[in-house]
Amino acid sequence: MLEKIITLENISLVDFLGVENENIKEIASAFPESKILSRGNEIQIKGTAPQILEINKLLDSLLGHYHKFGKVSNDNIKEYLQNGEQTNEFGKEENILVFGTRGSKIAPKTANQVKLVKAAKKQDLVFALGPAGTGKTYVSVALAMQALKNKDVKKVIVTRPAVEAGENLGFLPGDLKEKIDPYLRPIFDALHDMIQGEKLHHYMETGVIEIAPLAYMRGRTLNNAFILLDEAQNTTPMQIKMFLTRIGPNSKVIVTGDRTQVDLPPRQESGLIQAVEILKGVKGIGFVELDEKDVVRHPLVKDIIKAYKKHIENL
């Protein structure tokens, strides 16, 4: 039996090896005739020469995935084991949506995020549903920036219900911008990852990129635009209907939301949940479900979502 040791350098061990080395355990289970162990920043492989070559090739592919996306999940391991590097869909270069302000490649990182990208390319209206941390908003913003860069649309409009469904901003201090900024901050953060500060400022000054509370969509027809409605679980049925009927010619719309984080008053129905039920049979509308497997934040977030999901199911 031969032995090979691979030393991991300049890598976050938990993001590559997984929590409690779950990624290495997954790889080891796929090669039962070999022995694969991780100690510190070293991976020890024992087996025949062909086995070691195959495992080494897999680890090289996963290291490439890590350097592209900053993390390797257990589902990534399974995808590579099943399909290999060449067919691993979310690792393909052609799936890059935009380049970030620091030169990073922004692309879907999970299978369901790839589904969201494909749905947005095919359909003019897409509902992306899933818990926090699944990347639904970030990927949607990247799709909007790609459409703007390719001149598929003339402007990008991002909106979300502010504070709560009623959008009662009056009690907050400051002018309108100061009132709404905290509720639109996640959108600004995503945009700053994708557009240099001066260019972003210019786009917003000239109206090429518009970020506004949902109430500002009333009475408008949104033409030649990529439109994102974020946090849609906090819209009322009347609000989401108002928004959806604003869609004009040559426009793309993505509606994102989390069914489990509705902040509406008691007994107030979520417009998102109602809209999905009403529109699920309408041709030309796409629906993409993301779940805890798509979480790209801290590994604990995935476990937190699972725990809450289990708690709700046991009620």
The pLDDT assigned to 90 comes to 52
Query: Considering the entire predicted model, what is its pTM?
Result: 0.67
- DSSP of 227-271: EEE-SGGGS-HHHHHHHHTTB-TT-EEEEEE-TT---SPTTPPPH
- As averages over each run of 10 residues, the pLDDT of the chain (315 residues) reads 87 87 90 90 90 89 81 81 55 73 79 92 96 91 94 93 53 52 76 89 93 87 94 94 94 94 88 95 94 74 78 77
Is residue 131 within 8 A of residue 260, CB to CB? The reply is yes
The pLDDT assigned to 155 comes to 95
List, in order of start, the domains of the chain with CATH numbers: 2-87 (3.30.1370.10), 95-314 (3.40.50.300)
Is residue 236 within 8 A of residue 271, CB to CB? The reply is yes
Is residue 55 within 8 A of residue 32, CB to CB? The reply is no
Taking the C-alpha atoms of residue 283 and residue 280, their distance in angstroms, rounded to an integer, is 8
The one-letter code for the residue type at 120 is: A
Taking the C-alpha atoms of residue 72 and residue 13, their distance in angstroms, rounded to an integer, is 10
Residues in Cβ contact with 167 at an 8 Å cutoff, skipping those fewer than 6 apart: 161, 213, 214, 215
For residue 198, CA distances in Å to 66, 104, 202, 203, 204 come to 31, 19, 6, 9, 10
Best CA proximity match to 115, nearest among 312, 267, 293, 300: 293
Two tokens at 88?
Answer: 């691993």
Residues in Cβ contact with 202 at an 8 Å cutoff, skipping those fewer than 6 apart: 208
Taking the C-alpha atoms of residue 231 and residue 261, their distance in angstroms, rounded to an integer, is 9
The pLDDT assigned to 146 comes to 94
Taking the C-alpha atoms of residue 137 and residue 128, their distance in angstroms, rounded to an integer, is 9
Taking the C-alpha atoms of residue 141 and residue 100, their distance in angstroms, rounded to an integer, is 12
Task: Give phi and psi for 125, each to the nearest 5.
Answer: -135, 125
